[in-house]
Structure 1
Amino acid sequence: MDIQSETSRLLDAEGAEPSGPQSEQDAYLSKVKNSKLYLATFASVLGPLSFGFVLGYSSPVIPDLSRTSETRLRLDAVQASWFGSIVTVGAAVGGLLGGWMVDRLGRKLTLMLCSLPFVFGFTVIVAAQNVTMLLAGRVLTGLASGVTSLVVPVYISEMAHEKVRGTLGSCVQLMVVIGIMGAYLAGLFVDWRWLAICGSVPPTLLLVCMCFMPETPRFLLSQGKKREAEEALRFLRGSDAPIQWEWNRIEEACSEQSSSFHVRDLRDPGVFKPLLIGVMLMVFQQMTGINAIMFYAENIFEQAHFKESDLASVIVGLIQVVFTAVAALIMDKAGRKVLLIISGVAMAVSTAAFGVYFYLVEAQSAAGGGSHADLAWLALLSMAVFITGFALGWGPIPWLVMSEIFPVKVRGFASAVCVLTNWSMAFVVTKTFQDLMNVLTSAGTFWLFACCCIANVVFTMAFVPETKGKTLEQIESSFRGTASP
């Protein structure tokens, strides 16, 4: 088949001007059918759904295991801290492993394989006879979460075109928060063992569904598999799409990066600039305190004197789902940078207000005051605003930007560094959260998070590029300081 002739005929039929690259792009995208792209995205985001369930699992389970009648499984304060945070240790290792796997095994096979430690980890938790087995199961599910958090954004970004890449990329975080809310909600009705069984369902579906999905065209081209890459691109764009316009750009970028990654490549501004931005986005995301707040949501509400703390956690999860969905819908219109700034400001205000709440509560307690019910609204409002702000920007966007800004040949390595940074910071924050509450007081801890959110905003305004509406190849060219392809 003469793809070039087909492209010219279909573009002419659209009335496009051959000399205008933007008009060619519009004409091409108007012929693209997204149904199979959406199907492949849905299959892949069962992975983030699984690791969202892992993140949310500790919130209803820690109070349950802290008062269980099975003494060999009962968690004391230190063990509960490890149960919540050790997932991040496994995830950090999983990020490194995932960086190697996506470059050696491909995006699709890596995603399929990561379903196994999810299932094995939850199985170990169900069969646990002691605290060590509980922690081992959490490490395994954390390992799978680390691999998933790396490979799914890369898989989606390499499949999607620029018109919908932001929306589809945001679905990663959307499914994470749906998984978190699912764990909170199920925790209201079932005990910790049945909750672990529920957590095994999404990764099982992931393994089955991904059997029918393609590898990404960019990875196939980087492996010299042109025929398979063309078939994958046709599958994702629809049989009527004149894929040559997109094919030429992908092929040109892959040919320029035919060599493998070497450490000396870090001197290339097209590599070290996006790598630094990606790493700092991950650092700042965790410095907001989001994982500490989500891991210990019920504990926080108990300390804030909410009688129905488990129900309050479900409400928090619901808010996160709704506003992450809103972010996905507006991502390709509002842009990444604007949403990050709005998100950072909202989180700074809300964590500062939460600090004020705890300061007033502690002051009342010191003065021998009675009920704190008159201040409970401030805690709930602060939490709601924080989750809303995080869901609109700093939740989905760092992962989305990470998947967009790295060249193909360093995508595995650079993504692994970002994921390792993210989960390492998550471990530090979640493991030290209770210590911070003891040393700085509850108020001081949340004011510290507020300062970090202000730093997020400054960093975004100064260094984060806008990637809305650009192809991956155009984004790469902007870092190199060359003309867009």
Structure 2
Amino acid sequence: MRGRQRVASKDHIPGQDKDENLASVRIPNVKPCWRRSLRHVMVASLSSFLYGYHVGVVNETLESISIDLGFSGNTMAEGLVVSICLGGAFVGSLFSGWIADGVGRRRSFQLCALPMIIGAAMSATAKSLWGMLLGRLFVGTGMGLGPPVAALYVAEASPPAIRGTYGALTQIATCLGLMGSLFIGIPAKDVVGWWRICFWVSVIPATTLALFMEICAESPHWLFKRGRTIEAEAEFEKLLGGVHVKAAMAELSKSDRGEGSDTVKLSELLFGSHCRVMFIGSALFALQQLSGINAVFYFSSTVFESFGVPSDIANTCVGICNLVGSIIAMILMDKLGRKVLLLGSFLGMAFAMGLQVIAASSFASGFGAMYLSVGGMLLFVLSFALGAGPVPCLLMSEILPGKIRAKAMAICLVAHWVINFFVGLLFLRFLELIGAKLVYSIFGSFCLLAVIFVKKYVLETKGKSLQEIEIALLAQEATTT
């Protein structure tokens, strides 16, 4: 028996060694197939599609909603219908990190879909203003939960070589959701009750997200952090292929397994060893919103109509520019890198705001002012979609250490939602008080400030694993202290 065992062992070992040696030679030179992870990322991107859809669903339908529910002419009520979802999004975003760490990325997507289904049904069947507001508030919590979890999932489930492309894919999904809601809403002014159909339609992608996430891969990073190593290996096999599992697990093992994400305290995030990366994230999201992008998205129709351009044409033009820019960003993200796209994007936005300032000054009048203003606005949206739109969320999910990634992302996004709300609330008021020239000058100044900030603080993450990025940041922090 012993002799047989030794012979079997002797016969087995050389073959095994040979296989392992071949694998170790092949893995560094062969990149994981993108097709394996694409279907998982596509399902996750439905959360971004829903975010875009619910941002735009009241754009064309608000007039019909206000007439049917009896608050037509009440600008405060109309403003609440548009903006109350931002309050819900703030709450959803604030707790997204704790939810994502507590139940995992897959279950978080399903929890994101649930209030969107309930809220959309409540809005579609609303008989009064309060019913509509409650439905929009429910939808908002899902809107706030979805995008940060999508950014986490893309960062943790994608091969490093195409992570930027997948990050831009979520931005494209947002654009498609926004454009879809605008096109579906076009008949609302002519067909009685059509706006209810617009809300019911959103239940389809939300239900698809909840159901299909059940068969998608869980984040291996989350499983590894929870000590579920065997499950993490199985998920890596789904996402990358069996030949890449050992290399992926070895890379993952470079970072600490941690003691569970619930051990991270808020004070540690804000004032501890992670405060530098938290500052970078919060500042980047703040500058993204202070550039004035949501003022353009919310009030582009007003600017276009002041020059006699119909709102449906205006919305279509803005949507196309946003989509084209996002597609270009997807192509260039893993070629040029995140930092280059951010720098070019903010510079283009600053130039576009310069055109708006000239259009609002005495140097331009008549058709010249119209072409400068409309052209500047479309250039602004295009430039935003090239980098300032898709990059910040992806970049933050890359540079935040695994132990704090979900919670830190949630806190950084607070800056996004708070400034988004105040820009939308105060833009028209500031336009009345200080004039378009000064308002656009302020937005342009923030774009230039963003260029300086990105140049000084942002680390390039193109083609690097999450563990390599974490090590590089630690080294950078050590040299600055």
Query: Do both proteins adopt the same fold according to a TM-score greater than 0.5, normalized to the shorter chain?
Result: yes
Instruction: Establish whether residue 204 from structure 1 lines up as the match of residue 207 from structure 2.
Output: yes
Aligned partners of 2:60 and 2:182 also within 8 Å: yes
Residue 265 of structure 2: aligned partner: 262
Instruction: Establish whether residue 157 from structure 1 lines up as the match of residue 158 from structure 2.
Output: no
Instruction: Establish whether residue 332 from structure 1 lines up as the match of residue 358 from structure 2.
Output: no
**Stretches of structure 1 lacking an aligned partner (at least 5 in a row):** 15-23, 365-371
**Stretches of structure 2 lacking an aligned partner (at least 5 in a row):** 1-11, 189-193
From 135, 138, 146, the counterpart of 1:137 = 135
1:272-287 equivalences under 5 Å are 272-287=275-290
In the superposition, relative to structure 1, how do residues 128 and 445 fare at CA in structure 2: closer, same or farther (>3 Å)? farther
From 111, 114, 117, the counterpart of 1:116 = 114
Aligned partners of 2:69 and 2:127 also within 8 Å: no
Aligned partners of 1:319 and 1:387 also within 8 Å: yes
In the superposition, relative to structure 1, how do residues 87 and 446 fare at CA in structure 2: closer, same or farther (>3 Å)? farther
Instruction: Establish whether residue 217 from structure 1 lines up as the match of residue 220 from structure 2.
Output: yes
Provide the TM-score with structure 1 as the length reference: 0.88
Distance (Å, rounded) in 1 between the aligned partners of 2:225 and 2:368: 61
Aligned partners of 1:406 and 1:414 also within 8 Å: yes
From 291, 305, 308, the counterpart of 2:308 = 305
Query: Which of 1 and 2 has higher RCO (CA within 8 Å, sep 6+)?
Result: 1
Distance (Å, rounded) in 2 between the aligned partners of 1:214 and 1:171: 18
Distance (Å, rounded) in 1 between the aligned partners of 2:195 and 2:89: 21
Distance (Å, rounded) in 2 between the aligned partners of 1:4 and 1:145: 51
Report the structure number with the largest CA radius of gyration: 2
Provide the TM-score with structure 2 as the length reference: 0.89
Per-residue deviation, residues 159-206 of structure 1 (Å, max 9, x unmatched): 112101111111111111111111122222344222212222221111
Instruction: Establish whether residue 86 from structure 1 lines up as the match of residue 99 from structure 2.
Output: no
Q: CA RMSD in A?
A: 2.5
Distance (Å, rounded) in 2 between the aligned partners of 1:211 and 1:75: 45
Per-residue deviation, residues 377-433 of structure 1 (Å, max 9, x unmatched): 222211110011000010000011111011111112101101222111111111112
In the superposition, relative to structure 1, how do residues 327 and 375 fare at CA in structure 2: closer, same or farther (>3 Å)? same
Q: Secondary structure at the match of 1:252?
A: coil
Per-residue deviation, residues 90-111 of structure 1 (Å, max 9, x unmatched): 1110011211100101111001
From 118, 124, 127, the counterpart of 1:126 = 124
Residue 356 of structure 1: aligned partner: 358
Distance (Å, rounded) in 2 between the aligned partners of 1:421 and 1:133: 29
Matched residue type, 1:253: S
Instruction: Establish whether residue 440 from structure 1 lines up as the match of residue 434 from structure 2.
Output: yes
In the superposition, relative to structure 1, how do residues 226 and 5 fare at CA in structure 2: closer, same or farther (>3 Å)? farther
Distance (Å, rounded) in 1 between the aligned partners of 2:281 and 2:257: 24
Aligned length: 459
Instruction: Establish whether residue 175 from structure 1 lines up as the match of residue 194 from structure 2.
Output: no
In the superposition, relative to structure 1, how do residues 302 and 135 fare at CA in structure 2: closer, same or farther (>3 Å)? farther
Range with bigger deviation, 330-339 or 176-185: 176-185
Instruction: Establish whether residue 98 from structure 1 lines up as the match of residue 96 from structure 2.
Output: yes
Residue 8 of structure 1: aligned partner: 21
Residue 52 of structure 2: aligned partner: 52
From 386, 393, 400, the counterpart of 1:406 = 400
Matched residue type, 2:316: V
Matched residue type, 1:315: C
Q: Secondary structure at the match of 2:460?
A: coil
Distance (Å, rounded) in 2 between the aligned partners of 1:266 and 1:196: 38
Give aligned-pair identity as a percent.
27
